[in-house]
Amino acid sequence: MTSPQGLLEAAQAGDEKAFGRLIEPHRGELQAHCYRMLGSVQDAEDALQDALLRAWRGLPQFAGRSTLRSWLYKIATNSCLDVIGRRPQRVLPVDFGPAADPHDGIKPPIAESVWVEPYPDQMFDVGDRLLGPEARYEQRESVELAFVAALQHLPAQQRAVLILREVLGFSAKEVADALDSSVASVNSALQRARSATSERLPEESQQATLRALGDDRIQALVERYMLAWEAGDVDTIVDLLTDDVTIAMPPMPTWYRGLDGAIGFLKGYVFAERARREELVGFAAEERRVRALPTWVSGQPAFAVYHWDEEAGGYTPVALQVLTLRGDRIRDITAFVNPTLMRRLGLPEPERRRTP
C-alpha cells in the first residue's frame, strides 16, 4: 500500500490517480464545509470541484508547512468566498418576509436561487462528535437547517471564521493563515459571529432535542405524522404541532405561523380538493394517492412526499418535508417543493408502477 507521503509525491509529479486517492478521505468533509458556507448542495458541489481543481494545479507548490487537510480547507474556503461574492444571500422563507394570512393565498415561487437547501445525511458522516479541541458544535448540529440558515446572515469572513474555528476546530493561527489575516482579526470576527449567530438560534439544538426523545419516540412521532399526511387527516396533523408552529414551502416565499395559520393552510390549500371529494362523494380510505417515505436530512427527521400521476403510471416527487421538533411536538415544517432538488439529494422513491 502506498503511504500518504508516497501518494503526495506521485500526485505532485502529475499522477491524477494518486491525487484522487490522496483527496478522497477529505472529500466528504470538504463538501459539508462548502455546504455550511453556501447553504446549497449544488453550490457546494460546484465550489468543491473548483477547489479540487485549484488544489491539483497548486499541489506542486505544496511544501508541507501545514497539514494537507488544513491546506485543502484553505483552498475550499476561498473558493466559497468567491461564490458568496457573486451570488445573492440564501435564506429561508421565515427570514424573507412576514408570516402570511392563510386567506390571502400563496405567492408564486421565486425562480432565483435564494433559498437555503437541506443536506442529505448520506452524503456525509454527520456523527455526534467534535472535530477538534477548538470546536463547539457537533457535526450534526452544524448542518441543521437553523444553524446553516443563521450562518448565511453573517458577513462572509465572519462566516468562514466561525465555521473554521467552532465547527472544524482549527486554531486561530490556522484560520488566520487560511484567510490571509491576523490572529487578532480572527478573534474579533469570531466574537461578532458568535453574538450574531446566537441571536438566531433556538435555545436547544435539534440534536439535544432528538437525544432527549430517543429513537423510538422520534420514529413513532414521524410515522404518525406521515400517515396523517397521506390520509389528509388535518386534526391529527394539528395535534402534533406546537402552538407557534411555522410552515414554509420554498421556493414559495409564503409561510405561516401558529395553529390558525397551519389549519387555514392545510384545509384551504393542501387538502382542499380531498375535503371537497369527501363532502361530495365520500373518500375511500384505501385510495392512497399520496405516499410519504421517511428519510433524514440536515441531521433532522424528514420525509419525501409523492403524488400519484395517472398519466405517468407512477408516483412523482412533490416535496421534501424537513421537521424541526420541540419536545414531542413539531415546531417547524419546511417543505421544499422542488422535485429536482429531491432527485439530486438521492431520496428514496416509491415503486414506479403501482396502482394507488
- Higher local confidence (pLDDT), 301 or 105: 301
pLDDT confidence band for 122 (50 / 70 / 90):
confident
pLDDT of residue 306: 93
pLDDT of residue 131: 57
Mean of pLDDT values over 173-200: 96
> Which CATH number describes the domain made up of 1-87?
1.10.1740.10
Mean of pLDDT values over 66-84: 96
Highest mean pLDDT among 120-124, 321-325, 351-355: 321-325
Residue 288 confidence (pLDDT) above 80: no
Residue 186 confidence (pLDDT) above 80: yes
Residue 199 confidence (pLDDT) above 60: yes
Domain boundaries, the chain: 1-87, 206-344
pLDDT of residue 283: 44
Least confident of 21-35, 71-85, 128-142, 196-210: 128-142
Mean of pLDDT values over 166-190: 96
What does the alpha-carbon distance between residue 246 and residue 279 come to, in Å, rounded to a whole number? 28
Whether 176 and 185 have beta carbons less than 8 Å apart is answered as yes
Residue 287 confidence (pLDDT) above 60: no
Whether 166 and 138 have beta carbons less than 8 Å apart is answered as no
What does the alpha-carbon distance between residue 327 and residue 329 come to, in Å, rounded to a whole number? 6
Mean of pLDDT values over 49-62: 95
Residue 128 confidence (pLDDT) above 80: no
Query: Which residues, other chains included, contact 323 with Cβ-Cβ below 8 Å and sequence gap of 6+?
Result: 222, 225, 300, 301, 302, 303, 330, 332, 333
pLDDT of residue 285: 41
pLDDT of residue 127: 53
Domains 1-87 and 206-344 share a fold: no
Residues in the chain, total: 356
Mean of pLDDT values over 108-114: 84
Least confident of 117-121, 174-178, 326-330: 117-121
Least confident of 148-157, 208-217, 221-230, 301-310: 301-310
Residue-wise pLDDT for 246-281, tens only, equals: 999 999 999 999 999 999 999 998 988 655 544 444
CATH topology classification for 206-344: Nuclear Transport Factor 2; Chain: A, (3.10.450)
pLDDT of residue 48: 97
Residue 349 confidence (pLDDT) above 80: no
Residue 284 confidence (pLDDT) above 50: no
Mean pLDDT of the chain: 89
pLDDT of residue 302: 95
Mean of pLDDT values over 277-303: 71
Residue 15 confidence (pLDDT) above 60: yes
pLDDT of residue 138: 78
